[in-house]
Structure 1
Amino acid sequence: MDQALKKQILSLLSKHRIMTIATLRPDGWPQATTVGYANEGLILYFVCGTDSQKAANLAKDNRVSLTIDSDADQLIDIKGLSMAAHAERITDRAEGMTMMGLMFSNYPEQKGIPFEPPKFEDVAVFRVTPKVISVLDYSKGFAHTDLVTL
């Protein structure tokens, strides 16, 4: 992977805290949901309820598509990421707790507000490993994308 492109991807990942992730429902329809995330390099992590539709969908098919972006005042300022990836549930408690801590550290504003993080046993923690990343950058031309296959 081109180092300048990797730097751009990592920069976009670090500037955001939420993503829209699409999983496949049992009836074949995609389901898109907004979740908070954290990343270590190109690997992303998110947490959801153990009885959520996302967790059920991923137990049957771990393929996901996701987007990370934000609104822009000018068309030329649109930048974002789209990924095709695999999401695997983390079953190791120590790893899961570390990743939950990483994710909640993305919200330093939360420190002054009483908040009890969920227990590992009560949530599903997922590791998302990208296979294809599309980098959208309108400053390089309308709907310009750079495609990276991992």
Structure 2
Amino acid sequence: MDAKQRQLILEIIESGRDLSLATLREDGYPQANVIGYANDGLTLFFGTARTSQKIKNIQRCEKVSMTITMAYNVWNQIRGLSMAATAHILADDSPESAHAMDRLLARFPTAWDMSPPAEPGQVVFVKLVPVVVNVIDYTRGFGHSELVEIGAGDLPGKTTESGACGN
């Protein structure tokens, strides 16, 4: 990906507040959830209840899709993205889990003000690693989109393998 594409993708990720995450349910139907997220470059993180349906879905199939849209008032201002990614449930005591929590608290510093922190083990963190991004930019014309594949050099430690779905 070139520097201009990367800059626009990061601008959309960093200006968005929520993403719509689609996972695959056991019965074959997709499930979409709106979640708050944080990022470290192109890698995204979220936390959720360990017993949530989306965690059960990810355990079965780590392939996910998501969308993020920047705020807009008229159609010719629409800018957003749709990503295919692999979801990785992070181990509770791992450095990556601590990093995910730090990123989320930096982005949402008042998160714990709403309610006390969950009991240990109730919250799990998930890392979303993009594979391909479809960038939507109507400021360049109605329906303008550009497909960007995420290469090995675009993410630290990215492998070319994508996850498989179990039955």
User: Normalised by the size of structure 2, how large is the TM-score?
Assistant: 0.83
Aligned to 1:49: 49
Distance in 1 of aligned mates of 2:97 and 2:63:
20
Q: What is the RMSD computed on CA atoms of the aligned residues?
A: 1.8
Cα offset, 1:111, TM superposition: 7.6
- Structure 1 stretches of 4+ moved >6 Å: none
1:123 aligns with 2:151: no
In the alignment, structure 1 segments of 5+ residues that lack a partner are none
Q: Which moved more, 1:48-57 or 1:68-77?
A: 68-77
Distance in 2 of aligned mates of 1:119 and 1:63:
29
1:120/1:86 Cα in 2 relative to 1: closer, same or farther (>3 Å)?
A: farther
For residues 35-86 of structure 1, the C-alpha deviation after alignment (integer angstroms, 9 at most, x for no partner) is 1101101100111111100000000000100000144211100010100010
Task: Kindly indicate whether the alpha-carbon contact (under 8 Å) linking 1:96 and 1:120 is maintained by their aligned counterparts in 2.
Answer: no
Q: Secondary structure at the match of 2:21?
A: strand
Distance in 2 of aligned mates of 1:28 and 1:124:
24
Aligned to 1:106: 107
Distance in 1 of aligned mates of 2:3 and 2:137:
16
Aligned to 1:58: 58
Structure with the largest fraction of helix: 1
Number of aligned residue pairs:
149
Sequence identity percentage: 36
User: Normalised by the size of structure 1, how large is the TM-score?
Assistant: 0.91
